[in-house]
C-alpha cells in the first residue's frame, strides 16, 4: 500500500465528529447535507420542477438523502456511478404513549428497532434524539445529548444464573429506561422534549424519538489503531460516501465520464420497505427525473440505467479472535486491511464476478488494499440494500464495506485506517 494512504487521522477524526452530530437518521442526513452545501451542492425540492443545469444537487426525505453531481455538458443518457448506504442503526425507539413506570420510578416505553444486541444497551448513559412534528406541518430536530436515560441491569445477587447460563432479557419487560423518580404523568416526556426544543407542548403532534449513548467515539489500542463508537453500522459508510462525492464534485467536469451519486436510505435494519427505504421508489425517481430534466427520453433513461453501477456499502464482519469458528475458514477479513468485498452466491449480497472486477479496478486506481468476506456455510448470511437496489432498478450492484467487530452493539469497533481507505476507494469508483 502506498505510504500516502496510511492512516489519515484527520479523516477519522472527522468521522468521529460525524457520529456525534448524527444520533438519529434525521440528524445524519442533515449533517451530510450541511457538508455537501459547503462543497457547492444545493437542495432541490421534490414538489418543485427540476431543471437540467449542471452541478451538485440533493434531495432530503425524512432519514434519507440522495445527492448527485451533473458534470457540464453531460448527455441525458450518461450512466450513473452510485454509492449506497443506510442511515439507521439498531436501537430503542420511543413508543406513541411513552410515559410509564412503577414503584416510584418514572420510565419511558420503548420498542426494539432492528436486530439490536440488547445487553449492550444496559447500564449506559443515554440521551434522546430524533425529530418532532409540529401543528403547522413543520418538523424540528431534537438532540438532548446528555445523560438522561438508563436501562438498569438486574444485580447478580438477584440473578445468580446470569454468569454461568447467560443473561436472558425479555424485550418487553427488561428494556424500558428509567429517567427519574415520582408518579407517572401522561404527556410528561413530550412536555420535556418540547421545552428542550423551545416549542409549546400543545404544538407537538408527532414524534420519532430514540435513545442514544452519549459516550463519544474514541481511539483505543496500544497504538490507537482502533476506533470504538456508536452507529458505525452504517454511518461509517454514509460519512465516507459524503466525503467521496464532495471530492469528486471538486474535480474538473471533463474528467467525469459518469454522474456520481450518493444515496443513503433509512429503515435498512428492518427490511427497507418504506418511502425512505431502499425498497421504495426514491432512488429511481431521482435518477429518472435527472434524465428527463436534461431533456432525455425513456430511451435515454434505459441507456443510463444499463450503464450504471452501484456500490452498496455496509459494515461487515471482521474475524473475531474469540469466535473464529463462526467464520469461513478461508476468508478472514481483518481490521485495517482495507474495505471488504461481500460475496454470497444465493444473492444475499449482490456481488458477482463482473462486479468484483469493477471494485478491484477502483481499489487499484486508489492504491487501496481490499479483502473478501464470505459467510460460513453453517451460519445464516445477512443482507444489505444491495440485492434490493439491483432488483428494483435493474442496476449492477456490488456489496462492499468495512470489517468491524461488535456489529449491532450500542458501541462498535473498527480499524482506525479503514474509514479513510474506504473513502479513497469510493472516490476512485465515483470518478470512473
pLDDT digits (tens, 9 = 90+) for 207-226: 999 999 999 999 999 999 99
Provide the pLDDT for residue 254: 87
Give 51-86 as a DSSP string.
----EEEEEEETTEEEEEEE-TT--TT--EEEEEEE
* Helix residue spans in 175-231 (DSSP H): 188-197
> Up-side HSE of residue 328: CA atoms within 13 Å toward CB?
17
Provide the pLDDT for residue 6: 46
pLDDT digits (tens, 9 = 90+) for 107-138: 999 999 999 999 999 999 999 999 999 999 99
Q: Which residues contact 422 (CB under 8 A, 6 or more apart)?
A: 236, 237, 240, 313, 339, 400, 401, 402
Name the percent of the chain lying above pLDDT 70: 98
- Pairing mode, strands 226-229 and 218-220: antiparallel
Q: Please state, as a whole number, how many other Cβ atoms lie within 10 Å of the Cβ of residue 195.
A: 11
pLDDT digits (tens, 9 = 90+) for 183-196: 999 999 999 999 99
Residue 31 is placed in which grid cell? 449533517
Per-residue pLDDT band for 3 (boundaries 50, 70, 90) equals very low
Distances (CA, A) of 237 to 79, 121, 164, 312: 22, 23, 38, 9
Q: Which residues contact 218 (CB under 8 A, 6 or more apart)?
A: 227, 228, 229
Per-residue pLDDT band for 285 (boundaries 50, 70, 90) equals very high
Res 2 pLDDT > 80: no
Res 166 pLDDT > 90: no
Residue 427 near residue 244, CB atoms below 8 Å: yes
The residue-averaged pLDDT of 129-148 equals 97
Cell numbers 445523560: residue: 147
The residue-averaged pLDDT of 158-177 equals 91
pLDDT digits (tens, 9 = 90+) for 311-368: 999 999 999 999 999 999 999 999 999 999 999 999 999 999 999 999 999 999 999 9
Residue 159 near residue 122, CB atoms below 8 Å: no
Residue 210 is placed in which grid cell? 430514540
pLDDT digits (tens, 9 = 90+) for 263-280: 999 999 999 999 999 999
- The CA distance from 132 to 105, in Å, is 25
Asked if residue 405 has a cis previous peptide bond (ω within 30° of 0), the answer is: no
Name the pTM for this structure. 0.96
Q: Please state, as a whole number, how many other Cβ atoms lie within 10 Å of the Cβ of residue 98.
A: 20
- The CA distance from 30 to 16, in Å, is 16
Mean pLDDT of the chain: 96
Provide the pLDDT for residue 299: 98
Provide the pLDDT for residue 7: 55
Provide the pLDDT for residue 382: 93
Provide the pLDDT for residue 1: 34
The residue-averaged pLDDT of 166-179 equals 95
- Residue 91 DSSP class: E
φ, ψ of residue 213 in degrees (nearest 5): -65, 135
pLDDT digits (tens, 9 = 90+) for 62-83: 999 999 999 999 999 999 999 9
Taken in order 70, 262, 431, 250, the sign of the CA dihedral is: positive
Taken in order 264, 96, 101, 166, the sign of the CA dihedral is: negative
Per-residue pLDDT band for 5 (boundaries 50, 70, 90) equals very low
Provide the pLDDT for residue 164: 81
Provide the pLDDT for residue 160: 87
Res 151 pLDDT > 90: yes
Amino acid at each position: 500500500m502506498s505510504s500516502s494512504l496510511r492512516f489519515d487521522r484527520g479523516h477519522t477524526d472527522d468521522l468521529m465528529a460525524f457520529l456525534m452530530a448524527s444520533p438519529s437518521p434525521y440528524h445524519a442526513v442533515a449533517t451530510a447535507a450541511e457538508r455537501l452545501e459547503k462543497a457547492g451542492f444545493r437542495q432541490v425540492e421534490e414538489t418543485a420542477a427540476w431543471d437540467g443545469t449542471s452541478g451538485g444537487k440533493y434531495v432530503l426525505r425524512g432519514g434519507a438523502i440522495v445527492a448527485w453531481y451533473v458534470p457540464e455538458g453531460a448527455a441525458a443518457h450518461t450512466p450513473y456511478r452510485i454509492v449506497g448506504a443506510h442511515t439507521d442503526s439498531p436501537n430503542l425507539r420511543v413508543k406513541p404513549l411513552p410515559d410509564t413506570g412503577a414503584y416510584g420510578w418514572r420510565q419511558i416505553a420503548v420498542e426494539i428497532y432492528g436486530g439490536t444486541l440488547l445487553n449492550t444497551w444496559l447500564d449506559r448513559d443515554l440521551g434522546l434524539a430524533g425529530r418532532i412534528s409540529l401543528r403547522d406541518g413543520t418538523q424540528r430536530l431534537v438532540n438532548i445529548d446528555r445523560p438522561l436515560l438508563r436501562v438498569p441491569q438486574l444485580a447478580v445477587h438477584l440473578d445468580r444464573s446470569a454468569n454461568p447460563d447467560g443473561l436472558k432479557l425479555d424485550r418487553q419487560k427488561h428494556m424500558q429506561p428509567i429517567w427519574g423518580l415520582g408518579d407517572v404523568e401522561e404527556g410528561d416526556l413530550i412536555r420535556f422534549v418540547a421545552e428542550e426544543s423551545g416549542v409549546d407542548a400543545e404544538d407537538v403532534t408527532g414524534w420519532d424519538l430514540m435513545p442514544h449513548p452519549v459516550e463519544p467515539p474514541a481511539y483505543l489500542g496500544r497504538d490507537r489503531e482502533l476506533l470504538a463508537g456508536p452507529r458505525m453500522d452504517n454511518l461509517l459508510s454514509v460519512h465516507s460516501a459524503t466525503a467521496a462525492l464532495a471530492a469528486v464534485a471538486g474535480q474538473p467536469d471533463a474528467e467525469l465520464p459518469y454522474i456520481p451519486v450518493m444515496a443513503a436510505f433509512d429503515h435498512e435494519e428492518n427490511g427497507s420497505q418504506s418511502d425512505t427505504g431502499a425498497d421504495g421508489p426514491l432512488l429511481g425517481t431521482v435518477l429518472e427525473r435527472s434524465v428527463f430534466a436534461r431533456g432525455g427520453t425513456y430511451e435515454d433513461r434505459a441507456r443510463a440505467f444499463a450503464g450504471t453501477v452501484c456500490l452498496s456499502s455496509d459494515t461487515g464482519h471482521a474475524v473475531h479472535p474469540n469466535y473464529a469458528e463462526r467464520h469461513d475458514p478461508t476468508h478472514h477479513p481483518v481490521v485495517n486491511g482495507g474495505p471488504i468485498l461481500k460475496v454470497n452466491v444465493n444473492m444475499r449480497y449482490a456481488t458477482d464476478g463482473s462486479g468484483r472486477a469493477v471494485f478491484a479496478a477502483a481499489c487499484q486506481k486508489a492504491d487501496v488494499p481490499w479483502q473478501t468476506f464470505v459467510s460460513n456455510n453453517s451460519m445464516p448470511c445477512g443482507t444489505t440494500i444491495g440485492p434490493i437496489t439491483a432488483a428494483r432498478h435493474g442496476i449492477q450492484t456490488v456489496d462492499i464495506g468495512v470489517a468491524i467487530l461488535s456489529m449491532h452493539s450500542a458501541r462498535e469497533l473498527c480499524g482506525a485506517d479503514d474509514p479513510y481507505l474506504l473513502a479513497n476507494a469510493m472516490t476512485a469508483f465515483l470518478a470512473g
